[in-house]
Amino acid sequence: MSTSSNVVVLDNGGGLIKAGLGGERDPSAVVPNCLYRPPASKKWLHLTSRDEDLTSAAVRRPMDRGYLINPELQREIWSHLFSSVLRINPSQSSLLLTEPLFTLPSIQRSLDELVFEDFNFRALYVAHPPALVHLHEATRRPSGLLSRAQCSLVVDAGFSFTHASPVFHNFPLNYAVRRIDLGGKALTNYLKELVSFRSVNVMEETFIIDDVKENLCFVSLDIDRDLTIARKSGKENLFRCTYVLPDGVTHTKGFVKYPDQARRYFALRDNNHPSSAPVEAEGDTNCSEIAEQPGDRKRVDLPKNEFDLTNERFLVPEMIFRPADLGMNQAGLAECIVRAVNACHPYLHPVLYESIILTGGSTLFPQFAERLEKELRPLVPDDYHVKITAQEDPILGVWRGGSLLASSPDFEAMCVTKSEYEELGSARCRKRFFH
């Protein structure tokens, strides 16, 4: 383990696995952490890219709500990843593995068995994602407040849940971490329900609705105003846009019908009144007017190959800020952050509010940071600054922090070796990582 090239960095997320070698800037592979089965097949397949035809594909995931529930399935996915994608020999490599906060000891034992007994890695280091995000951001800006104070608040909105984690000297303060049981998976499921209820049944189309969410959803900066606009007809409705479903013949992936039309809501950033929005290109105007004609709507609906979205575009991400509106007995993200900060020592409060880092795929919604700051500002004392930093790539931020750690000269001493694991067992070895 003399060089970081022998260290495999594995950010094992509930939605995506990011894997590569320590010291690199980007992972060698970003693949969904699942197996899929096409409708006409009986065989479960590995998903190597999202360009495949995934219409009505069934999905099996080894992780549920962020935690490993199926070690056998995870072994199968890792085995394919190590042999066919990364092409590494685990017995000659060390592993830096990420693990969600508050993982149960029984799950930790299962992971340790996978690493040491099934794959025979020679050493293991387990890291928490917020610590790696903090390390990456502190290294990027060595003269910034975050690096000088060695303190930050990491907001990780991932696939399974959202955490607000204060980090101090590279360790998450577990007693202060606050969690919302909402992530990208719940948002996709909610969008499925809305579209299925209003337009066309897409309850089986997980991958397609993921694409709809990533391309068309955004965070509202004024929910009452936007709901009013969404009720309008014709070109006054800045949110209406059309998504075309794959037909399996001419195109195997869904797509946004008029991309320029889908981006019109950005006109609301600077002016509250939709009438001041820039006039669309002539083709787009015609399309939105034609779509409003009842005869055409009937014709489009018959083949069920496309559907319109209006207020769904901002109601889905709104869940993170107002879970109570969906009947969830949980605080919204801004209140969650305030509770996490208040659980820390008062001396840390001003620094934490001034060094909030956004990571995780669900923070990629347009206007996410602006909305969070707008909600947070009234809850924070007036003499404190609020500064929210979005990572340059929120999906890869954790992996990049792990790659930095794996390339540090102290990494070898921090690991648990296979012989130590065999002698002391999982529980004793785990104490080394988080103390």
pTM of the model: 0.89
Stretch 274-292: mean pLDDT: 38
**Is 121 exposed, middle or buried (CB count within 10 Å of its CB: 0-12, 13-18, 19+)?**
buried
Per-residue model confidence as pLDDT tens digits over 73-98: 999 999 999 999 999 999 999 999 99
242: left (phi over 0), alpha (psi -120 to 50) or beta: beta
Q: What is the pLDDT, as a whole number, of residue 291?
A: 39
Per-residue model confidence as pLDDT tens digits over 389-417: 999 999 999 999 999 999 999 898 999 99
Residues 6+ apart with CB under 8 A from 87: none
**Is 188 exposed, middle or buried (CB count within 10 Å of its CB: 0-12, 13-18, 19+)?**
buried
Confidence of residue 20 (pLDDT cuts 50, 70, 90): very high
Least confident of 268-272, 281-285, 332-336: 281-285
